[in-house]
Amino acid sequence: MNLDGNLVWTTGSAVAGYDWGIPATAWSGWQAQGFDANGLFANPGLDATYTLAPASPYFGSYGRDLASLSTDNYATWRAANFTGTDVAIDAVSGPLADPDGVGISNYARYAFALPARGPFGSPVILDTIGEGAARVLRLNFPRRATATDLSYIVESSPDLITWTPVPGRTFAPGAGPITAEDTVPIGAATRRFLRVRVTTP
């Protein structure tokens, strides 16, 4: 995880002469104009929880804008699940590769939070819900809790050739699986198919 942020001062504040330090340490380097927390965590001796306080007196108001940047993406998943020379070989660890020959690409394993290796059934389950004229198709599938490079788009087709996104059925990574119902009743179409397409947002 990388941290980055900025100190925001009131308009007209003379901030150039004010430093920020970490109490009870000799290390100081955060300036009033802004800070980069990457430098803090890059120093092994400072790897802990700290309280920030001004190193010199300042009278005024300030705010702190601190953001957490996730690094949960396919590249980190690939590095964590493949070792040695396999990491650099697209035919083994690339997103389109299926090194076990089970019909599930590495990217699908990543997107649906499946084990990186070994046999596994389809993570997507198709069923129906409702009765009579209100009966519709429904997809159920798992998803990653956090990721920076995933969107789950439920699509429909009348012929398995032309696919169209189902309105309101695009999902981001998050907690728990997705249950997505179609918006068109089964009886309203001669043929109707559903799928979930995983893509980069």
CA distance 98 to 96: 7
Burial class (CB in 10 A: 0-12, 13-18, 19+), 76: middle
> 155, 138, 137: which is closest to 199 by C-alpha?
155
Residue 186: phi and psi, rounded to 5, are -60, -40
| Per-residue confidence in pLDDT tens, the chain, 201 aa | 333 444 443 444 444 444 444 444 444 444 333 434 444 444 434 333 434 445 555 445 444 444 444 569 999 999 999 998 999 999 999 999 999 999 999 999 999 999 999 998 899 999 999 999 999 999 999 999 999 999 999 999 999 999 999 999 999 999 999 999 999 999 999 999 999 999 987
CA distance 147 to 73: 5
> 20, 9, 101: which is closest to 62 by C-alpha?
9
H-helix or E-strand spanning residue 140? strand 136-141
User: Taking the alpha carbons of 152, 140, 123, 184 in that order, is the dihedral positive or negative?
Assistant: negative
Residue tagged 């920020």 (tokens): 20
Domain layout of the chain by residue ranges: 2-69, 74-111, 125-199
CB atoms within 10 A of CB 194: 21
CA distance 85 to 74: 17
Contact 87, 93 (CB under 8 A): yes
CB atoms within 10 A of CB 79: 11
H-helix or E-strand spanning residue 128? strand 125-129
User: 114 in the Ramachandran plot: left (φ > 0), alpha (ψ -120 to 50) or beta?
Assistant: beta
As a CATH number, domain 125-199 is 2.60.40
